[in-house]
């Protein structure tokens, strides 16, 4: 079954799977235009430190009502392709009942129903088990909120 055991569990230290969940937060500057911000590096670094070479799940969470997460390839045009699809699905016009701030702001409140604020990635041998072309991104259409928080948690 490809089942793995944390090699540290043979030692006298507390293995990660017997430790309480490890969790931290960090800030991302998303600026004043719709953004697809790469946070893979922060995820990888936290997972490496928390897992201690073992296996577990990395949980990523955005505690904001107007931002979401996506796991996709970045840097080859798909980030702007995604923003184009979101512009059609959630146009920045006056249709929104939830109306305050910049024009079309209400669409940012619907975004998290589709691009959810939670994502979970397996950690194997202390590393994110992402595919070659996968990155973890924070997606933010909200031009009124330039700084975002992300919470990372590791459970083994």
Residues in 26-45 that interact with a second copy by CB under 8 A: none
| The one among 43, 50, 143, 150 contacting a second copy by CB under 8 A | 50
Closest CA to 35 of 115, 119, 125, 118: 115
Query: What is the rounded distance in angstroms from the CA atom of residue 27 to the CA atom of residue 32?
Result: 15
- Helices 106-114 & 78-89, crossing angle to 10 degrees? 120
80 contributes a contact to a second copy by CB under 8 A:
yes
How buried is residue 80: exposed, middle or buried, by Cβ count under 10 Å (0-12/13-18/19+)?
exposed
56 contributes a contact to a second copy by CB under 8 A:
yes
139 contributes a contact to a second copy by CB under 8 A:
yes
| The one among 59, 87, 101, 145 contacting a second copy by CB under 8 A | 59
| The one among 33, 41, 53, 81 contacting a second copy by CB under 8 A | 81
Pair 46, 104: CB distance under 8 Å:
no
Query: What is the rounded distance in angstroms from the CA atom of residue 22 to the CA atom of residue 126?
Result: 14
48 contributes a contact to a second copy by CB under 8 A:
no
Q: How far is the CB of 51 from a second copy (least distance, A)?
A: 10
Q: How far is the CB of 126 from a second copy (least distance, A)?
A: 12
């Amino acid at each position: 079954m490809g089942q793995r055991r944390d090699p540290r569990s043979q030692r006298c230290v507390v293995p990660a799977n017997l430790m309480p969940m490890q969790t931290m937060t960090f800030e991302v500057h998303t600026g004043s235009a719709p953004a697809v911000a790469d946070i893979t590096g922060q995820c990888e670094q936290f997972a490496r430190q928390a897992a201690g070479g073992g296996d577990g799940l990395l949980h990523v969470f955005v505690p904001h009502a107007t931002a979401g997460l996506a796991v996709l390839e970045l840097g080859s045009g798909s980030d702007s392709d995604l923003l184009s699809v979101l512009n059609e699905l959630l146009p920045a016009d006056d249709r929104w009942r939830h109306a305050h701030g910049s024009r079309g702001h209400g669409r940012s409140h619907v975004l998290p129903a589709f691009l959810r604020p939670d994502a979970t990635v397996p950690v194997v041998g202390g590393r994110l088990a992402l595919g070659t072309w996968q990155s973890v991104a924070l997606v933010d259409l909200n031009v009124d909120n330039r700084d975002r928080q992300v919470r990372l948690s590791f459970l083994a």
